[in-house]
Amino acid sequence: MNKKNIINSILENIKTIIGALIIAIIIRSFIFQPFYIPSSSMEPTLLIGDRIFVSKYTYGFSKHSFPFSPSVFNERIFYKKPEQGDLVVFKTPADNRTDYIKRLIGLPGDEIQFIEGNIFINDKEIVRKKINTSNSIRCGKFSFKVNTYEEILPNGIKHIAVYNESGTLKNTKKFKVPKNHFFFLGDNRDCSKDSRYLGYVNFVNLVGKARMIFFSNDTVKGSLLKFWNLKNSFRFDRLFRKIK
């Protein structure tokens, strides 16, 4: 192979790589993006080690739809308002960089408050039914016993939430959600850094809606690098599970 052919071959490979990168960026920015769940704040809905697909088009697009959040515009285009109960990936208000995933509880104008451990939205207690007790839920390196409830939001959406059995958050101030902002909670209510502590999330910070678990590995039982132990750590029952 002469020098000219070698150069042409290198250029063709570079074009192929660049084309593949462009396609990957387009898919990641406009269609779906994978995320890894590193914490227990959304247990039992999402577990540490879950890998999920998030739809980027559901709420329209902002600068946070793209890699490195370029400051090209500070609004959303093709905006569609999220619904209560959605599991949403967003950039935290603190740094506009870190990705969190929580459940949307409060819409713009809503008032949210915990009173004696119960959630009130616009002064109405949300309906909840205890479905189990004394389950063990992780919180960082620790675990604690929880009571499990099915909660029904004002729009009829049902979800599962857990509360510390030996002492849960009883009372809070009343949170009033500003215009173009949202209030989020983790399903693991007593082990979640959410809008009670982070504050309200601007609609520009929404990244996308969680859709599906495509892979899950219990990091306590073994890492992916220990492939010989994968049969013990791989959660087959969570493979391609739709997220609710």
Task: Flag whether 238 is in a domain.
Answer: yes
Report whether pLDDT(228) > 60: no
Report whether pLDDT(13) > 70: yes
Task: Flag whether 122 is in a domain.
Answer: no
Q: Which two tokens stand for residue 148?
A: 């499990």
Task: Flag whether 159 is in a domain.
Answer: no
- The whole-angstrom separation of Cα 97 and Cα 89 is 12
Residue among 108, 121, 120 nearest 206 (CA): 108
Catalytic residues: 41, 102
Across the range 90-114, mean pLDDT stands at 96
> What CA–CA distances, in Å, run from 69 to 66, 95, 99, 173?
5, 12, 12, 33
User: Residues 93, 46: one domain?
Assistant: yes
Which backbone phi and psi does 54 adopt, to 5 degrees? Answer: -120, 130
Which backbone phi and psi does 196 adopt, to 5 degrees? Answer: -65, -25
User: Residues 16, 38: one domain?
Assistant: no
User: Residues 109, 38: one domain?
Assistant: yes
Residues sharing a CB contact under 8 Å with residue 102, sequence separation 6 or more, in sequence order: 41, 42, 87, 88, 90, 184, 185, 186, 192, 194, 195
Report whether pLDDT(197) > 90: yes
User: Residues 190, 84: one domain?
Assistant: yes
Residue with tokens 């509880």: 105
- The whole-angstrom separation of Cα 174 and Cα 154 is 18
User: Residues 103, 180: one domain?
Assistant: yes
User: Residues 83, 17: one domain?
Assistant: no
How sure is the predictor about 133, in pLDDT bands with cuts at 50, 70 and 90? low
Positive/negative CA dihedral, 106, 192, 197, 34: negative
User: Residues 101, 212: one domain?
Assistant: yes
Task: Flag whether 136 is in a domain.
Answer: no
The highest-confidence range among 9-13, 43-47, 128-132, by mean pLDDT, is 43-47
- The whole-angstrom separation of Cα 60 and Cα 77 is 6
Q: 14 lies in which domain range?
A: 1-30
Task: Flag whether 162 is in a domain.
Answer: no
How sure is the predictor about 132, in pLDDT bands with cuts at 50, 70 and 90? confident
Task: Flag whether 84 is in a domain.
Answer: yes
* Helices and strands of the chain, counted as H and E runs: 3, 15
- The whole-angstrom separation of Cα 181 and Cα 206 is 10
Task: Flag whether 220 is in a domain.
Answer: yes
Report whether pLDDT(227) > 60: no
Task: Flag whether 48 is in a domain.
Answer: yes
User: Residues 9, 113: one domain?
Assistant: no
How sure is the predictor about 56, in pLDDT bands with cuts at 50, 70 and 90? very high
User: Residues 91, 22: one domain?
Assistant: no
User: Residues 56, 1: one domain?
Assistant: no
Across the range 1-28, mean pLDDT stands at 82
Report whether pLDDT(75) > 70: yes
Positive/negative CA dihedral, 30, 92, 21, 243: negative
Q: Which helix (H) or strand (E) holds 219?
A: none
Q: What is the pLDDT of residue 19?
A: 86
User: Residues 15, 93: one domain?
Assistant: no
Domain count, the chain: 2
- In whole numbers, what is the pLDDT of the chain averaged over residues? 90
Beta bridge partners, 201, equal 182
Q: What is the CATH number of the domain that holds 183?
A: 2.10.109.10
User: Residues 201, 105: one domain?
Assistant: yes
